[in-house]
Amino acid sequence: MKGKRILVWFKTNLRLLDNEALVAACEKASAVFPVYIIDDRMFQTQALGFPKTGAFRTRFLLESLHDLQSSLRQHEAGLLVFRGRPEEIIPRLALELKVSAVYAEREVTDEELRIQNQVEQRCEAKGIAMRLFWQHTLYHLEDIPWPIQHLPDTFTHFRKEAEQEAIIRPALPIPVSIPFTNEIGSEAIPTLQQLGFSEPEQDPRAAIHFHGGESQALARMKEYIWEKDRLKIYKETRNELLGADYSSKFSPWLSLGCISPKTIYEEVRRYERERVKNDSTYWLIFELMWRDYFRFAAKKYGNRIFQLNGLGKKNMTLKEDRDTFEQWRQGETNIPFIDANMKELLHSGFMSNRGRQNVASVLVKDLKINWTWGAAWFESQLIDYDPTSNWLNWAYVAGVGNDPREDRYFNTESQVRKYDPHGHYMDHWLATNKA
Ligand code: FAD
């Protein structure tokens, strides 16, 4: 029924393609107001001495917002940006704009859920409905073949049954028109400096300069899959460490929802039809299913994913030794493979999956440091930080997550022999070492 006015609250769905909340709003309303709130709590310094969201990740977010704003403008709409607390601003704006509903992405993790719940309560108290959309995963929550409390505890079980029994819904097109009217002023998207950061130096050793936004995400997908034709060898190269193309590097854009996994899925299927279908093309989907699994597992386990004992299989006794942690964080453990990876993270905001597994394992299993500290550093530093993928991967490596093997251990020496036998990766990040 047209005539309605709807506020669409963008969070980690910073895109126009396959954005169900936006599509539904445009179908139902004659006035749609896209809004993003920059929440200062995201940038505050934490007890461990670094910000919750560091400079690399913040820059990527700001770039993504600029890109969304310009795409919306191309569609004769706009993005209303405000700085403050969403639970205060969204209900206030909803009243001011006289909307009947707020549409937003549905959250699963604690901090995001608390804010979502407060927005919902305050809106509903004023007679404004809130409608939530599940839109971060490949499979829809309603389509997986279990109630969430019965989600299998191992990925393999999840994957096999989901592949057999669940469908992947088609990605939605960009709405034909976005009925925006410019009724209230918006703040400007802040600069990195206004959020308290200086511009991070562009390290020449970083293989890829990630630039946030849906257009960049689509460009990377085209480049990796079609132009460079790397998808057909993904399974063979994905454990490498050096260069732009050993893996897709889609993760930063997926994390902020600049691209949806369904869009990637459809592109892989098209590549399979038009070019080649093999183990590698399957494997990219397989990895996206890991991402789904962690999202669903977070919904099942709630706050346990952030706690030292994780999913609760055993009691962890780990040290809280700040000096050792700082050495690890700065890439100064004197274990060259670990230091090279930690320098890459420090100076570029990215690290390969192989690197992440190794540095996490060393922190927990060798240095015996509280793994939640490591996860907190990744949260600050990783451009692709995603709460469920990060914390559940950490819990997995720490031995308190969804790993069916309890004693998994990454022996650094044998990992180096296998993945960096000539030391090229270590040389790359350590030979021209920065202070
Ligand atoms: P590709 O190998 O090209 O994989 C394609 C996509 O599949 C990725 O973009 C990602 O969305 C998904 N994927 C691949 N592996 C995993 C995995 N193990 N878990 C979940 N999804 C996966 N990934 C994040 O997106 N955000 C995080 O905060 C994050 N933290 C991690 C922390 C630790 C300790 C570990 C071991 C892994 C973490 N990962 C995280 C998973 C993985 O390392 C990255 O997704 C991957 O390295 C990103 O590079 P890519 O896009 O080139 O991956």
Give the span between the Cα atoms of 415 and 394, in whole angstroms: 18
Angle between helices 353-361 and 412-419 (to 10 degrees): 160
| CATH number of the structural domain spanning residue 124 | 3.40.50.620
Q: Is residue 435 part of a domain?
A: no
pLDDT in tens, 204-232: 999 899 999 999 999 999 999 999 999 99
Shortest-distance Cα residue to atom 21 of ligand 1: 291
**Residues in CB range of 293: below 8 A, 6 or more apart:** 155, 158, 159, 402
Report the residue among 12, 254, 267, 287 best suited for mutation to probe ligand 1: largest number of ligand atoms under 8 A from its CB: 287
> Which of 248, 281, 302 represents a domain boundary (last residue)?
302
> Among 242, 284, 389, 409, which residue has the most ligand 1 atoms within 8 Å of its CB, making it the best to mutate?
389
| Contact (Cβ atoms closer than 8 angstroms) between residue 401 and residue 361 | no
Q: Can you name the residues that pair with 133 across neighbouring β-strands?
A: 105
Ligand 1 test: best mutation among 353, 400, 408, most atoms within 8 Å of CB? 353
For the cut 50, the answer to whether the pLDDT of residue 435 exceeds it is no
Give the number of other CB atoms < 10 A from CB of residue 206. 16
Q: In terms of domains, do 279 and 358 share one?
A: no
pLDDT at 98: 97
Give the CA angle between residues 44, 374, 194 to the nearest 5°: 20
Least Cα distance to 297 among 201, 400, 370, 217 occurs for 400
C-alpha span between 52 and 374 (Å, rounded): 13
Write out the DSSP string of 290-323. HHHHHHHHHHHHGGGGGSTTTTSSS----B--HH
Q: What is the pTM of this model?
A: 0.97
Please determine, for residue 283, whether its predicted confidence score (pLDDT) is greater than 60. yes
Query: Do 92 and 162 reside in the same domain of the chain?
Result: no
**For residue 290, which of 209, 403, 145 has the smallest C-alpha distance?**
403
Task: Determine whether the shortest distance from the Cβ of 284 to ligand 1 is under 6 A.
Answer: yes
Please indicate, yes or no, whether residues 128 and 140 belong to a single structural domain of this protein: no
pLDDT of 290 strictly over 50:
yes
| 249/351 same-domain check | no
**Of 272, 302, 332, which residue sits at a domain end?**
302
Q: 320 and 250, same structural domain? A: no
CA end-to-end span of the chain, whole Å?
Answer: 61
Residue 189 resides in a domain: no
Give 432's pLDDT tier (boundaries 50, 70, 90).
low
Ligand 1 atom 29, closest CA: 390
Residue 188 lies in a domain: no
* Structural domain boundaries, residue 107: 4-135
Q: Is 295 close to ligand 1, i.e. is its CB under 6 Å away?
A: no
Q: Is 341 in the pocket of ligand 1 (CB under 6 A)?
A: no
Last residue of one domain, picked from the residues 269, 302, 335:
302
Q: Alpha-carbon distance 290 to 88, whole Å?
A: 35
Tokens standing for residue 311: 């999913």
pLDDT score at 2: 62
Distance CA 79, CA 24 (A): 17
241: domain CATH number is: 1.25.40.80
Does 153 share its domain with 291? Answer: yes
140 shares a domain with 129: no
Do 294 and 409 fall into the same domain?
Answer: no
Residue 245 and residue 337 in one domain: no
Are residues 220 and 130 both part of a single domain?
Answer: no
Closest CA to 110 of 299, 312, 384, 385: 299
* Residues 239, 330 within the same domain: no
Task: Based on the fold, state whether residues 24 and 63 are members of the same structural domain.
Answer: yes
381 lines ligand 1 (CB under 6 A): no
Q: 333 in a domain, yes or no?
A: yes
Judge whether 406 lies within some domain. yes
The reply to whether 32 falls in a domain is yes
Spatial separation of the C-alpha atoms in residues 67 and 72, rounded to whole Å: 9
Q: Where residue 321 sits, what CATH number does that domain have?
A: 1.10.579.10
Q: What is the pLDDT of residues 107-163, one digit of tens each?
A: 999 999 999 999 999 999 999 999 999 999 999 999 999 999 999 999 999 999 999
- What is the CA(290)–ligand 1 centre distance, in A? 8
Condensed to tens digits (0 to 9), the pLDDT of residues 33-68 reads 999 999 999 999 999 999 999 999 999 999 999 999
Residue type, 165: E
Does residue 176 sit within a domain?
A: no
The number of distinct structural domains making up the chain is 3
Residue 101, strand partner residues: 6, 129
Separation of alpha carbons 178 and 15, rounded Å: 13
Instruction: Give the 3-state secondary structure of residue 92.
Output: helix
**Maximal CA-CA distance, the chain:** 66
Distance of CA 108 to the CA centre of its chain: 13
Within a domain: 177: no
